[in-house]
Chains A and B, each alone.
Chain A
Amino acid sequence: MKAKWIALIILLVLSFIGLVYLFGLGGAIAGIFESLLLFVLSDIDKTTGYMASSYKWLRTVNFYFERNAVEKRVESTINLASRRVNEEGVNLLPHRIDIKWVEPKDREAFLKNGKIVVCLESSLNEDRNLARATILYASEDFIRESQRFIDRDVLKSACLALARKMLMLDRKLSALRCLNDEFIKAETANNPIISDYIITMEKLDSEGHLTRVFLKELSEIDIKLPSVLSSPVAEAETVTFLQVMKQLTEKKRGVDINTSHRGQIIDMSIMLVARVGVVDPTPYINYAEKCWSNGLPRLYVMAQGNNTNIAKDAVIGIKALGIYGVEREWSLRIPDERGGFDSYTAVLSRIQK
């Protein structure tokens, strides 16, 4: 990302100098326009955000500016955030949000259209608009095809956790406060299990496993049950799977936990490379072999800190055996209050022999 910006700035400076050298004042003006154009094209969502700010500034001049201030702010925040969520590796939010203002129409036309209309407030109430629109967008777009197989509380919690994540990614702290105060608190007061689920999901996210493991598995249920309308088994498994993931977030050093979920639909295991002082990847490769013999279709390999190198060696060894192939792998630096730690996650898929 940094390299992209450095290259862009060098390109701009060089072309600006070239234009001024060749065409003088006219070249300088052309250079400024060129810079503006490249700036807009380099990140359309950020530019939309700047447009929202300028429209808001002009809001008292005409309702056109007020309406655009609301529209552009919601679009820019949600599109930026959904892009960042998708950049984590799984296409959880495949669509960009596009706010369309409804015009007064007759009752029949509205019924025929069949689409829900959301009420948005003035651009002065930006936080409330963002909180409301983010929830609505997340509930509509998030792993849409698999939603029908997910337990209602798990799904609601995932949408709320995702909405929180999106607002945090764009550092919309006052919108986040509004989301907590006006939406999440009310929800958790009525149904305490949602609070428990959201906390688990946020812990998973702080370790980089929410989107890459938990939501990835949920998003693929539809692929496993393509022609089924609903499945009580799948719904129940989304709850038990979350319980397995919860154990992972609560794991104490040196204490073994069950990290497998061998369901009919969600069938996976997590291999934690977490032993202190172990430098030989052989036990992990042997474990993978055992998983393969037991018919496990997917194995996640996870490690933190110094263990990331052993985990990578284990993955190389497993690949060499030809039992699992690497679907995806991530080497991340996870920030925390002590400055951050290295984290490694690999998704391995069973190879049929």
Chain B
Amino acid sequence: MNKEEILAVHKERLEEFLKSIGLWEPLVKGELKCVFCGVPISVDNIGLIIPSKDKIVVCCSKSECIFKAKELREGKSEG
């Protein structure tokens, strides 16, 4: 049986990871918004970190946005 690899970051290592990709500062300043529903992103509601073409976007943890993330990656929706 093949494997479906899912990349994950633990909340306790989130700061370190977001700093490395340049998103920690916008997050603490409250500038980061869900790419789909526009809700401000914080450590509590961050759901996914999505590489999309030449930018990195984030989405909140609502299932609606999680589904849209997949479509964005596949190029079916616009973030």
Contact = CB atoms under 8 A, between A and B. Distances in A.
B8 A118 contact: yes
A165 to B, nearest CB: 15
Given A106-B20, A113-B51, A117-B48, A97 B7 contact: no
B51 A160 contact: no
B46 interface: yes
B34 interface: no
Q: Is the interface of A mostly helix, strand, loop or mixed?
A: helix
Contact of A132 (B3, B64, B66): B66
Nearest to B22: A107
B69 interface: yes
Contact of B51 (A94, A103, A110, A184): A110
A94 B21 contact: no
A136 interface: yes
A160 B8 contact: no
A335 to B, nearest CB: 28
Contacts of A71: 8
B9 A186 contact: no
Contact of A115 (B1, B51, B63): B51
Interface stretch (A7-15, A21-29, A137-145): A137-145
A132 B2 CA distance: 21
B8 A99 contact: yes
Contacts of B14: 119
Contacts, number: 139
Interface in A78-108: 94-107
A237 interface: no
A186 B62 contact: yes
B57 to A, nearest CB: 10
A239 B39 CA distance: 31
Nearest to B53: A111
Contact of A104 (B6, B17, B47, B64): B17
- A98, A116, A140, A184 — most chain B CB neighbours (10 Å): A116
Interface string B4-27: 111111111110110111100000
Contact of A135 (B5, B9, B19, B63): B63
Nearest to B70: A139
Contacts of A67: 10
Contacts of A120: 8-11
Interface in B26-69: 46-51, 54-56, 61-64, 66-67, 69
A158 to B, nearest CB: 11
B17 A111 contact: no
Given A110-B21, A115-B51, A116-B73, A159 B67 contact: yes
A135 B51 contact: no
A119 B44 CA distance: 10
Contacts of A201: none
Contact of B49 (A95, A99, A104, A119): A119
Interface string A304-344: 00000000000000000000000000000000000000000
Contacts of A282: none
Contact of B46 (A66, A70, A119): A119
Given A95-B3, A104-B16, A119 B47 contact: yes
Contacts of B3: 95-98
A154 B29 CA distance: 38
B60 to A, nearest CB: 10
Interface in A199-246: none
A186 B63 contact: yes
Interface of B: 1-14, 16-17, 19-22, 46-51, 54-56, 61-64, 66-67, 69-70, 73
18 contacts: A95-B4, A96-B3, A100-B5, A100-B8, A102-B8, A103-B17, A105-B21, A110-B20, A114-B73, A117-B9, A119-B8, A119-B47, A136-B48, A137-B4, A160-B63, A183-B62, A187-B63, A190-B64
Question: Shortest 3 CB-CB distances between A and B: which pairs?
Answer: A104-B20, A95-B4, A183-B63
